[in-house]
Amino acid sequence: MSRSESRAQAVFEITTGEPIAAAKPKSLEEIWASDVFTLVKMESALSKSAFRAMKKTMETGAALAPDVADDVAAAMKTWALSKGANYFAHVFYPLTGASAEKHDSFIVTDASGKAITEFSGSLLTKGEPDGSSFPNGGIRKTNAARGYTFWDPTSPAFILDTENGATLCIPSVFVSWTGEALDKKVPLMRSNAAMNAAGTKVLKLMGEQEVAPLNSSCGAEQEYFLVDSTFANLRPDLLLAGRTLFGAPPAKGQEFDDHYFGAIPERVQVYMEAVEETLYRLGIPAKTRHNEVAPGQFEIAPYFESANVAADHQQMLMTVLKNTARKHGFVCLLHEKPFAGINGSGKHVNWSVGNATQGNLLDPGATPYENLNFLLFCGAVIRGVHLYGPLLRAAIASAGNDHRLGANEAPPAILSVYLGGEIEAIFEQIKDGKLDGAGESGIMDLGLSQIIPFAKDSGDRNRTSPFAFTGNRFEFRAVGSQQSVSGPLIAMNTMLADSLNWIAEKLDAELTAGTDKPAAVVAVLKALMAEHGQVIFGGDGYSAEWHRMAVEERGLLNLPTTADALPYLKDESIKALFARTGVLSSVELESRYEVYAEVYILSIAVEARLAVDIAKTIIYPAAMRYLSDLADTSASVAGMGIELDATTAKTIAAESNAMMSAVARLAEAFRKEDFASTEEHMQYCAGVIRGLMDEVRLHADALEAEIADEQWPLPKYREMLFIK
Ligand code: ADP
Ligand code: MG
C-alpha cells in the first residue's frame, strides 16, 4: 500500500473502528493510593519507633537512622510481594528531564540453590546503576562511570504495573561517585532547605514564636495533544521529534475558540478516565480535566503537593499519559509545539511556600496590607524575578519551548511579574513609604437575586504574563509541557531563599535600630521596590509596546531562544547565587549547562536530519509523481486539441526545486563541526539550522496545497487534529 493509500485507510479505520469501552468506574476509596506504600500502610507494618521515625522524616525532613531502613525495607518487601512485584527499582531523575530506573529482582538463591527473596536496608538505601550513559556534563569520565542512587524517604515508594509485570519503585537521588548531583532531585531538595532556612530567619525576626519547617508546594497544569496512533505512525516527524516538521494549515484551525472547554470527545473521555484511575492508584491527586484552546489539545491538573513529591508525581503523570494513550490507540504528544500555527502546550507551574504554623505565606488573606509576612514573601519573589529573570528563563529553555515563548500565544521570553490590581496597588504605596488599606474589591453583584453573592477576586488573571500572582500562589506560565518541573522549582526556591536572606539582613538592621515592625517592613520593601519594582507589569505581555518598553525603559532582558538564555547559567551572579545558597556547586552548575546545551544541539540536529529525510524521500517523490501525472494528462488531452493550463504544474516544479535547494543547503549546514564554543554552536542551531528548516518547510507546505489530496503521503493537519 502506498503512503497516501495508508493515509486514506487510516481515516477509514479510525472513523469506523470500535472505540475502547469505558471501564466501570471504581470507587475512589477502593483505588486511592492502593499502589503506594503510604504512611498509613507503614503504621501497621512497622514497629512503633520505626514508624515514628519515618513519619518525622517525611513530614520534616529529619535524618533517618540506618536501622530504621532495615525495618522499612522488610515491610516494603512484604507489601510489594503481596502486590505481585518481584522486582524493585530506584527511580531517579537524570538531567535529560526523563525518569530512569534500574530494576533488580528480590530473588537470591541460598546455599541449597533454593530461591528466596531478600531486601535489606542497604539495598533500599543505596543503588549503583551504571551511570555512564547518563549525561553528566563532564563530571564523570566514561571510564570512571560510577554513579549512586540513594533512597529519598520523603517521597513514597509505589508499585508500577507494566506489561512486563509489577515493580516496586523507590524515588531516589542520583549522584556521581565523587558526590556531585547528577539529577534534578538533589538540587530541588537543597533549594527547599535553603528557602526554609532563609524563610525561618525572616519569620523569627517578625516575632513568630513557633516556626514549623517551610516547604515549597507545586501544582502543575499539564497540556498535551492526542493524535490517533494510526496517523502518528505515518508521520516520521511525530514519531522521532514529537512534533510535525511539515504540514500546511487546515482551512479551520482554532480561530472559533470552539474547542476551549468544549465537550470532551467520548473516546478522549474514556482515555482520561483510564489515566485518572492509574493516577489515583499511584496517589496522584488528578483534579481537573478539560479541552484546551487548540483542537485535539487537552489539560490535566493535579491538586498541589509538596514540591519534591509533586515533581516525582509530575514525572509519573507524563509517563502515565503516554502509556495509557498507547493502549487507547492514541499517541500523547507532550511536545511544546506539535503543530505550527496552532497553540502550543505549556505546563503552568503553580508554586507557593508555607508551613504548618504560619500557613501559606503567599496567601494575602482578606486584608493584605496588614499581612506583613505575606508582603515580605511576595516582595522576596519580586526581587527574585528581577534579579534572576535570566535564570528563570534558562530554567525553561529548550528546543521545544523556543517555539512557544515569545510566539504571541504563549508568555513572552521577557520575565516580568503580574501581581493583580489590589496587590500591585499596595506595592505602589510601599514605593512611597506608605501602607494603608488599598481599595477593597467588594462584592460581585450580578443583579440576580437567585445567585449567591460572592466577593470579587483581588485581581484578574493575566494570561500574557509569564509569572503571575493568582491569589495565593505564583503561576510560572512559561514552563514547557514536556519539561521536568524540577528545574523551574529549583530556580524559584533558590531565588526566594536569596531574597529572604537579603530581607532578613535589612529587617534585622531596621529592628535593631529600634524601628517598629510595620515601619521596618515598609522601609525594607520600599528599598526593594526602588531597585526591583520595574519587574512588575500588569499590561499586555504580548504587545510590541511591552517588548520595546521592557528592554529599553526597564532594562529587562528579552532572551528569545535557548541559545540566548542558557549561557546565563555560567554568569557569575548565578554561580554565586547557587554557591551562596548551597544548592549547586559551580562544578555541578557548569555540568548542567553542558548537558542542557548538548541536548539542545542534538534535538535540533535530529530535527534537521529528519526534515532533510522527509523532504527528499517522501515529499519530493510525491511531487514528482503528481507532476508526471499532470504531464501525462496534458499530453493525452493535447491529442484531442485541448490545451491545459500549466500553472499548477509550473508551481509544483518551482516549489519542488526551491525545496530541494533548501534541503541541499540544510544538509550542508548541519555537517559543520568547527565551532569556537558551545555558545556559538547553539546560536548556529537557533539561527542557521532552524532558518533553513523553515525554508524547506515553506516550500513543502506550498506543495501540500497544490498536490492532489489523494496522493499526499502524510496525514494532514485537519486529519490529525480533528479526527478522533
Ligand atoms: P487555572 O487553570 O485557573 O490556573 P487550575 O485549577 O487548572 O487553575 O490549576 C491550578 C493549580 O494550582 C492546581 O494544580 C492547584 O492545586 C494549584 N494550587 C492551588 N493552590 C496552590 C498552592 N498554594 N501552591 C501550589 N499550587 C497551588
Ligand atoms: Mg493556570
Instruction: Give 473-525 as a DSSP string.
Output: SEEETT-BTTS-SHHHHHHHHHHHHHHHHHHHHHHHHHHHTT--HHHHHHHHH
Range of lowest pLDDT (12-26, 71-85, 173-187): 12-26
C-alpha cell, 520: 521596618
Q: Which ligand is closest in space to the CA of residue 292?
A: 1
Range of lowest pLDDT (188-192, 210-214, 290-294): 290-294
**How does pLDDT run across 471-495, given as a tens digit for each residue?**
999 999 999 999 999 999 999 999 9
Identify the CA nearest to 154 among candidates 50, 62, 286, 42: 62
Helix axis angle for 185-205 and 307-327, nearest 10°, is 140
Q: Looking at residues 504-509, what average pLDDT do you find?
A: 98
Instruction: Name the residue with cell 556547586.
Output: 585
- Residue 142 CB: number of other CB atoms within 10 A? 9
Q: Looking at residues 152-163, what average pLDDT do you find?
A: 91
Instruction: Name the residue with cell 512497622.
Output: 46
C-alpha cell, 306: 509538596
Q: What is the pLDDT of residue 17?
A: 84
Confidence of residue 441 (pLDDT cuts 50, 70, 90): low
Q: Can you tell me the distance from the alpha carbon of 306 to that of 44, in angstroms, rounded to the nearest whole number? A: 24
Identify the CA nearest to 427 among candidates 459, 449, 397: 459
Q: Which ligand is closest in space to the CA of residue 299?
A: 1
Q: Give distance in angstroms: CA of 470 to centre of ligand 1.
A: 9
User: CATH assignment of 600-722?
Assistant: 1.20.120.1560
Answer for the pair 285, 305: CB distance below 8 angstroms, yes or no.
Answer: yes
Which residue's alpha carbon is nearest to atom 19 within ligand 1? 304
Instruction: Write down the mean pLDDT value for the chain.
Output: 92
Q: Looking at residues 589-608, what average pLDDT do you find?
A: 96
Query: Which residues have CB under 8 Å from 229's CB, separation 6+?
Result: 325, 326, 329, 330, 331
Q: Give distance in angstroms: CA of 593 to centre of ligand 2.
A: 29
Q: Give distance in angstroms: CA of 186 to centre of ligand 2.
A: 27
Q: Give distance in angstroms: CA of 147 to centre of ligand 2.
A: 38
Which residue's alpha carbon is nearest to atom 11 within ligand 1? 219
- What number does the ligand 1 atom closest to the CA of 350 have? 26
Q: Give distance in angstroms: CA of 470 to centre of ligand 2.
A: 8
Residue 283 Rama label (left phi>0; alpha psi -120 to 50; beta): left
Q: Give distance in angstroms: CA of 17 to centre of ligand 1.
A: 37
- What number does the ligand 1 atom closest to the CA of 362 have? 23
Q: Can you tell me the distance from the alpha carbon of 663 to that of 680, in angstroms, rounded to the nearest whole number? A: 23
Q: What is the pTM of this model?
A: 0.94
Q: Give distance in angstroms: CA of 367 to centre of ligand 1.
A: 22
Query: Which residues have CB under 8 Å from 259's CB, separation 6+?
Result: 291, 292, 293, 294, 295, 296, 297
Q: Give distance in angstroms: CA of 304 to centre of ligand 1.
A: 6
Q: Can you tell me the distance from the alpha carbon of 164 to that of 100, in angstroms, rounded to the nearest whole number? A: 16
Instruction: Name the residue with cell 500572582.
Output: 469
Rounded (5°) CA angle 344-603-697: 65
- What number does the ligand 1 atom closest to the CA of 219 have? 14
Which residue's alpha carbon is nearest to atom 17 within ligand 1? 219
Answer for the pair 260, 9: CB distance below 8 angstroms, yes or no.
Answer: no
Domain range list for the chain: 27-183, 191-584, 600-722
Confidence of residue 632 (pLDDT cuts 50, 70, 90): very high
Strands 85-92 and 165-176: parallel
Q: Which ligand is closest in space to the CA of residue 473?
A: 1
Q: Looking at residues 311-338, what average pLDDT do you find?
A: 96
Q: Which ligand is closest in space to the CA of residue 218?
A: 1
In one letter, which amino acid is 555?
A: G
CATH of 191-584, one of 3.50.50.60, 3.10.520.10, 3.30.590.10, 3.40.720.10: 3.30.590.10
Which residue's alpha carbon is nearest to atom 1 within ligand 1? 221
Q: Can you tell me the distance from the alpha carbon of 172 to that of 189, in angstroms, rounded to the nearest whole number? A: 11
Could you tell me which residues are beta bridge partners of residue 108? 116
Residue from 216, 221, 260, 477 whose mutation best tests the ligand 1 pocket (most atoms within 8 A of CB): 221
- What number does the ligand 1 atom closest to the CA of 218 have? 25
Q: What is the pLDDT of residue 110?
A: 87
In one letter, which amino acid is 438?
A: A
C-alpha cell, 24: 466501570
Which residue's alpha carbon is nearest to atom 2 within ligand 1? 221
Which residue's alpha carbon is nearest to atom 14 within ligand 1? 219
- What number does the ligand 1 atom closest to the CA of 220 have? 14
Alpha carbon 437 to chain centroid, angstroms: 38
Query: Which residues have CB under 8 Å from 674's CB, separation 6+?
Result: none
The enclosing H or E element of 359 equals strand 359-360
The enclosing H or E element of 537 equals none
Q: Which ligand is closest in space to the CA of residue 360?
A: 1
The enclosing H or E element of 44 equals helix 39-45
Could you tell me which residues are beta bridge partners of residue 443? 455
What does the buried/exposed string (b/e) look like for 35-53 if buried means 16 or more CB atoms within 10 Å of the residue's CB? Answer: bbbbeebbeebbeeebbeb
- What number does the ligand 1 atom closest to the CA of 304 have? 16
Q: Give distance in angstroms: CA of 60 to centre of ligand 1.
A: 23
**How does pLDDT run across 387-400, given as a tens digit for each residue?**
999 999 999 999 99
**How does pLDDT run across 534-548, given as a tens digit for each residue?**
999 998 888 889 999
C-alpha cell, 683: 546560536
Q: Give distance in angstroms: CA of 713 to centre of ligand 2.
A: 38
For the cut 90, the answer to whether the pLDDT of residue 257 exceeds it is: no
Residue from 350, 377, 457 whose mutation best tests the ligand 1 pocket (most atoms within 8 A of CB): 350
Q: Can you tell me the distance from the alpha carbon of 429 to that of 426, in angstroms, rounded to the nearest whole number? A: 5
Provide long-range contacts, Cβ within 8 A and 24+ apart, for 376-379: 376/202, 376/206, 376/500, 376/503, 376/507, 376/521, 376/524, 376/525, 377/199, 377/202, 377/353, 377/496, 377/500, 378/419, 378/423, 378/427, 378/469, 379/427, 379/499, 379/503, 379/524, 379/525, 379/528, 379/529
Q: Give distance in angstroms: CA of 540 to centre of ligand 2.
A: 17
Range of lowest pLDDT (291-295, 343-347, 440-444, 618-622): 440-444
C-alpha gyration radius of the chain? 28
Q: What is the pLDDT of residue 318?
A: 97
Q: Which ligand is closest in space to the CA of residue 352?
A: 1
Q: Looking at residues 549-555, what average pLDDT do you find?
A: 95
The enclosing H or E element of 228 equals strand 215-228
For the cut 90, the answer to whether the pLDDT of residue 54 exceeds it is: yes
Q: Give distance in angstroms: CA of 462 to centre of ligand 1.
A: 15
Residue from 473, 475, 477 whose mutation best tests the ligand 1 pocket (most atoms within 8 A of CB): 473
Pocket lined around ligand 1, Cβ cut-off 6 Å: 217-219, 221, 288, 301-304, 350-352, 360, 472-473
Q: Looking at residues 239-255, what average pLDDT do you find?
A: 88
Q: Give distance in angstroms: CA of 335 to centre of ligand 1.
A: 22
The enclosing H or E element of 86 equals strand 85-92
Q: Looking at residues 104-127, what average pLDDT do you find?
A: 90
Q: What is the pLDDT of residue 208?
A: 97
For the cut 90, the answer to whether the pLDDT of residue 696 exceeds it is: yes
Which residues are in the CB-under-5-Å shell of ion ligand 2?
A: 221, 348
Answer for the pair 260, 291: CB distance below 8 angstroms, yes or no.
Answer: yes
Query: Which residues have CB under 8 Å from 185's CB, separation 6+?
Result: 92, 93, 152, 171, 172, 173, 174, 308, 311, 312, 486
In one letter, which amino acid is 613?
A: D
Identify the CA nearest to 389 among candidates 428, 361, 416, 362: 416
Q: Give distance in angstroms: CA of 221 to centre of ligand 2.
A: 6
Identify the CA nearest to 610 among candidates 238, 328, 178, 58: 238
Alpha carbon 230 to chain centroid, angstroms: 27
Q: Give distance in angstroms: CA of 723 to centre of ligand 1.
A: 31
Q: Give distance in angstroms: CA of 301 to centre of ligand 2.
A: 9
Q: Which ligand is closest in space to the CA of residue 301?
A: 1
Let me know if the fold of 27-183 is the same as that of 600-722: no
What percent of the chain shows pLDDT beyond 90? 77
Q: Thinking of the domain 27-183, which architecture would CATH place it in?
A: Roll (3.10)
C-alpha cell, 319: 509517563
Q: What is the pLDDT of residue 142?
A: 44
Q: What is the torsional sign of CA 596, 602, 605, 607?
A: negative
Residue from 304, 462, 479 whose mutation best tests the ligand 1 pocket (most atoms within 8 A of CB): 304
Q: Which ligand is closest in space to the CA of residue 471?
A: 1
Could you tell me which residues are beta bridge partners of residue 269? none
Q: What is the pLDDT of residue 143?
A: 47
Could you tell me which residues are beta bridge partners of residue 332? 226
Q: DSSP 3-state assignment of 79?
A: helix
